[in-house]
Each structure stands twice: as structure tokens, then as C-alpha cells.
Chains A and B, each alone.
Chain A
Amino acid sequence: MKRQFTPMLLVAITALAISFTACKSKPKDADIKVAVETALAADPMAAGMTVSVEKGVATLSGECKDELCKASCEKIAKGVKGVESIINNCTIAAPPPPPPVATTDATVLEQGLMDALKDQAGLKGSLVNGKIVLTGEIAKAKWVMVKQMLDKLKSAGYDLTGLKIK
């Protein structure tokens, strides 16, 4: 009799212990939600996301600016205690309009360069790999005007090592 009693008691104690810890370590969904929100708010990139939690499953929604932001939100939420899994419903914002690209049309660029330099006798201009190369001398006041004009041409930049400002 005595030999049978000990294992039974052990099983009972273990079961009790398991049910206790299980209860204690499982935070409420509402608490998890607050914790995830706090964690997300701390990161400027992830701020502004909406979170809902059900049985430890956190659902993220809202608009992220890019994939990186979406992944980062998920990572932050995953790190919060009590979160068992994530449903990442974040959407990615439409990309901003592409910036104007440097013109590849050399004739347009060449014509623009010719037009801008027409009245500047002291300046010589040419194009090398889409860059405007200027040589010669010019007064400061005129140079500001010429540079403003040339900057409208969407070149790839300048080589002005041969240019002198009087």
C-alpha cells in the first residue's frame, strides 16, 4: 500500500503545479494588446499601427510605408510577452511618385546647353557622359543666372574644374 501511494501523490502535485503555472504565465489578451501597442509606439517607424489580440494571437493592421516597416512591426510584436503568433495584415503604402530622371536625350541636353551659353562669350560648354563640362571665365552675377538655367536641363551633373568666377 505504502509503495503505491507515493507516485500517485507525485502525479497529483505535478498536475497541480502545471495548472498553476499555466494560469499564472498566461497574460490576458487585453494586457497583451496594451503591451504590443506600447512596444510599437516606441518605434517611430512602427507607430500608428492597430493591434487586436485573441487568445495570444496578435493581429496587426494599418499602413506601413514599406516592407521593412512591415517586417519590423511584426518583429516588435513577436518580442512582446504573451504573444504566441502574429497575423500581419499591415498594408504597404503606395510608393511616392518616382523622382524625375536625368534626361538621356543628348540632343535635347545639347540644345539646352547651347541656348544657355549663347550670350556667354567667355564660356565653353560640352557634354561628357551626360555631365555638363564648362571652361572659361564668367562674372558671378551672370554665373548664377547660367547655373539656374542649366539646372533645368536635367543633366547628370557638372565638371566645373576649368571654370573661373571673376
Chain B
Amino acid sequence: MLAENKYQELINAATISGVANLQVREENGVLFIDGEAPSGAVKDMLWSVYDKLDPNFLSGDLVMNVNVSSSVPVTKAKVTTERSNLNIRKGPGTDQAIIGKAAHHEIVTVVSQTSEQWWLIRTKEGEEGYAYAQYLTPEAE
């Protein structure tokens, strides 16, 4: 229960801000928080509370898998890499062959959110394949 006490403020914040399907469990001194945040702003807020309670997230005693609710399907996303192009791969995984690239800041069509890590996308040139979801930011229609 030690980790739960340490992160009580974070759990409270998640409850108050309307995180759906919130599940908190502790196993071998590691706290697992799962749920669906109603918005990106709530997710960011939770990560800043986490950073406050455990500076730089270095204790390694919390796994927070709170994602923005997928109840609203994403159809368009912007490629938000640092500078480079985003690889489009044959399958979901960096071991899969690169079959195309999406330009930095290009708007692509999200065909399906295959997993939390990999989305199936289509570029305006018609190239279709899997891209790493962390580099894709949902766009309003």
C-alpha cells in the first residue's frame, strides 16, 4: 500500500477529473493506474501531478496507462515528429519493412487505431501502412 499512499493525490486527481474505467492496483510495490481520460488536457494534468510526486518519474514504482478516451474515433492526424519524416511500415512493429514515409507535419488519414502503439494510416499520396502512434496527434475535422 506504500505506493498507493505516495500517489494518493494522483488517484484523487484522476477520480475528480472524470477518468473513466479507473483501475488502481498495487503489485510488488508497483502501482498500476489504468483508465481513460476525457481529454488530452486531463492526461497532461495527471502527468504533471505524477512529475510533482515523483520528480522525473525515476522511482519506477508507477505504471500509468491513462489514455485519451477512444470513444470519439480519430479520422485525421498530424505527423508530430521532431523534424524527420514518419516511417510507414508493412506491419505494427519496428521490425517490419518500411513501405513509405509521411512528411513532418503532414495530415494523414487514420484508417484504424490498431493498438495503443500502432495506427494504420493513409497519406494523401495513397500510401497505406502502420505508423507509431506517439508521433501522431489527432486533428479536429
Contacts and interface: CB of A to CB of B under 8 A. Distances in A.
Interface stretch (A7-15, A36-44, A66-74, A137-145): A137-145
A144 B23 CA distance: 22
B119 interface: no
B73 interface: no
Contacts of A115: 93-94, 117-118, 132
A99 interface: yes
Contacts of B60: 131, 157-160
B7 interface: no
A118 B134 CA distance: 12
Interface stretch (B11-19, B24-32, B105-113): B24-32
Q: Is the interface of B mostly helix, strand, loop or mixed?
A: mixed
A155 B59 CA distance: 15
Interface in A117-166: 118, 131, 140, 143-145, 147-149, 151-152, 154-160, 163, 165
Interface string A73-106: 0000000000000000000000000011010000
B63 A154 contact: yes
A159 to B, nearest CB: 6
B64 A151 contact: yes
Contacts of A160: 57-60
Q: How large is the interface on A (under 10, 10 to 19, 20 to 34, 35 or more residues)?
A: 20 to 34
Contacts of A100: 23, 32, 34
A106 to B, nearest CB: 15
Nearest to A165: B56
Given A145-B134, A148-B47, A165-B56, A111 B63 contact: no
20 contacts: A99-B25, A99-B34, A114-B94, A114-B95, A115-B117, A115-B118, A116-B117, A116-B134, A144-B51, A147-B57, A149-B134, A151-B64, A152-B116, A156-B28, A157-B28, A158-B60, A160-B57, A160-B59, A160-B60, A165-B56
Interface of A: 99-100, 102, 111-112, 114-116, 118, 131, 140, 143-145, 147-149, 151-152, 154-160, 163, 165
Interface of B: 23-25, 27-30, 32, 34, 47, 51, 56-61, 63-65, 67, 93-95, 116-118, 132, 134
